[in-house]
Amino acid sequence: MKSSVLTRYRVMAYVTAVMLLILCACMVAKYGFDKGEGLTLVVSQVHGVLYIIYLIFAFDLGSKAKWPFGKLLWVLVSGTIPTAAFFVERNVVRDVEPLITDGSPVTAKA
């Protein structure tokens, strides 16, 4: 597996997690203080689009790493639980790094 598959998953995991935290803060402002209704709408839509991209990259990584269905489902759902994606991303990197090849051709010995 190429390292770019893991890199794009990691980027989207962090971006999605940060956007979810921002969305949570906007929801508190909207429903707790009646402020920022328009901002909440924009942030929720941006998070939704980014989450779809995260799902695609996480599914791609999971299929290439040959994860069992339970692990893949946990990684996919972690983008909806505030702060979970930070912890799941760390575990995914630890599990996937040994599977990464550098992409250079392997020379066969005669």
Q: What whole-number distance in Å separates Cα of residue 64 and Cα of residue 11? A: 18
* Joined tokens for residue 103: 């992409």
Q: Is 106's pLDDT higher than 60?
A: no
- Judge whether 89 and 8 are in contact, CB under 8 Å: no
Condensed to tens digits (0 to 9), the pLDDT of residues 45-94 reads: 999 999 999 999 999 988 888 889 988 898 888 888 888 888 888 888 88
Angstrom CA distances, 104 to 1, 6, 8, 79, 107, stand at: 12, 17, 20, 33, 9
Q: Is 44's pLDDT higher than 70?
A: yes
What's the pLDDT score for residue 102? 62
Provide the mean pLDDT of the chain.
86
Q: Is 108's pLDDT higher than 70?
A: no
Q: What whole-number distance in Å separates Cα of residue 42 and Cα of residue 67? A: 34
